[in-house]
Amino acid sequence: MKFLFVSGGSAGALFPVTPLALAARNAGHQVLMGATENVMPMVAASSLPGVPITPKTMFDFMQRDRRGSPLEIPKDPHERNLFNGRGMARLAIGSLEGLVPLVEEWRPDVIVGGALSYAAPMVASRYGIPWARHALNMGEPAIIDLSAAAELAPELEEMGLDGLPAPDMFIDICPPSVRRADAPSAQFMRYIPFNTHRETQPWMYTRGDRPRVVVSAGSRVTADYEFDALRNLVAKVSSLDVELLIAAPQEMADALRADLPENVRAGWLPLDLVIPTCDLLIHRAGGNTMLTAVLAGVPQLLIPAMPKQVGMSRRLTDFGASMLLLGGEDTAENIAKCADELLTDPSYRERTRVLSEEARSLPTPHDVVGALTDLVP
């Protein structure tokens, strides 16, 4: 059977769907991963065959309208969510140029699209192919889908559709206890941490004598995106009496080096290996990072980078597995106070352990591959 996976334009969109793609291939199926050209090296690093479906990056579509005019990122949280939906819709339109000929030539039996890969349902509907929607995190606000559908209205109308086609299966990697209240019925699947690796060194999988804390602003940090936020966050935590690890793309970690104490390690960290050795994770509420920590049973201090991350951060905090600081609250004093509470109050680790056990009890990607094959007549 042929499985076509459609991902987005970043590690955050690629990594969550990769374990299911690998499980499908390991079960003997043919698998292709379609994504933007710039993430093809990451696809290759996962040992999956990748097909570039657009030469443009996700940011090209997010930061420019259909006419190519530059856009400003809204400051209002609601408008920012609408902005994200419209940008991902434009990514879908651009992706169809490569996705349509790929489907016509390869003829997949099943399409699996990341939750924000709106080209997947469009091409699946056009060719009558069963498709599954794969969650990327603990659940973005529904308003993003509505905004994307509005942006795609001309293309959907041309296809004879009055909205985005519903999936034949929704694959959710969020533990049921912390799902969105309005989340749809789902085929649950255990989240499997995935990231590209570097040379493994003993410190990555062993604990030292001091509490170990990882700080991260996500995998997409560049000089123009989130670097200032990462640098500011590192400055605010540098006085903590802990073993500090900074997770960042290597080039950005090198740019931070002059401001770091010699005993602080910084660089591209294999979080699936490192986080289980940690006592606390302080980060910008990225979905993969959040779920990797949940699975490892590690408490978190969440400082969301985008409005769409606030809801999932609140749910995790309400469960008792994290603490949350919103814009303007993330002072060095507040971060130190929260870090101390998270490190010394055992209730946070206990609640995270409960959630970890729930996540680990969910069906594996291997199990879900079997459910996907049942979609094919």
- Taking only the tens place, the pLDDT of each residue in 235-275 is 898 888 999 999 988 888 888 887 787 778 988 899 999 99
Residue range 92-124, pLDDT digits in tens: 999 999 999 999 999 999 999 999 999 999 999
Q: Are 315 and 251 in contact (CB under 8 A)?
A: no
pLDDT over 70 percentage in the chain:
100
Tell which residue, 29, 7, 3, has the closest CA to residue 113. Answer: 7
> Could you tell me the pLDDT band of residue 183, with boundaries at 50, 70 and 90?
very high
Length, in residues, of the chain: 377
Report, as an integer, the average pLDDT of 326-351.
96
Question: What's the pTM value of the predicted model, to 2 decimals?
Answer: 0.95
d(CA 316, CA 303): 12
Tell which residue, 125, 94, 110, 260, has the closest CA to residue 187. Answer: 110
Instruction: Please indicate whether residue 257 or residue 211 has the higher confidence score (pLDDT).
Output: 211
Residue range 2-20, pLDDT digits in tens: 999 999 899 999 999 999 9
Average pLDDT over the chain, rounded to an integer: 95
pLDDT at 89: 98
> What domains does the chain contain, in order, with CATH numbers?
2-191+362-373 (3.40.50.2000), 202-360 (3.40.50.2000)
Strands laid side by side in the 110-114 sheet: 50-54, 30-36, 2-6, 110-114, 131-134, 169-172, 187-188
Tell which residue, 116, 175, 152, has the closest CA to residue 308. Answer: 116
> Could you tell me the pLDDT band of residue 219, with boundaries at 50, 70 and 90?
confident
Q: Residue 133 contacts by C-beta under 8 Å, 6 or more apart in sequence?
A: 113, 115, 120, 121, 167, 169, 170, 171
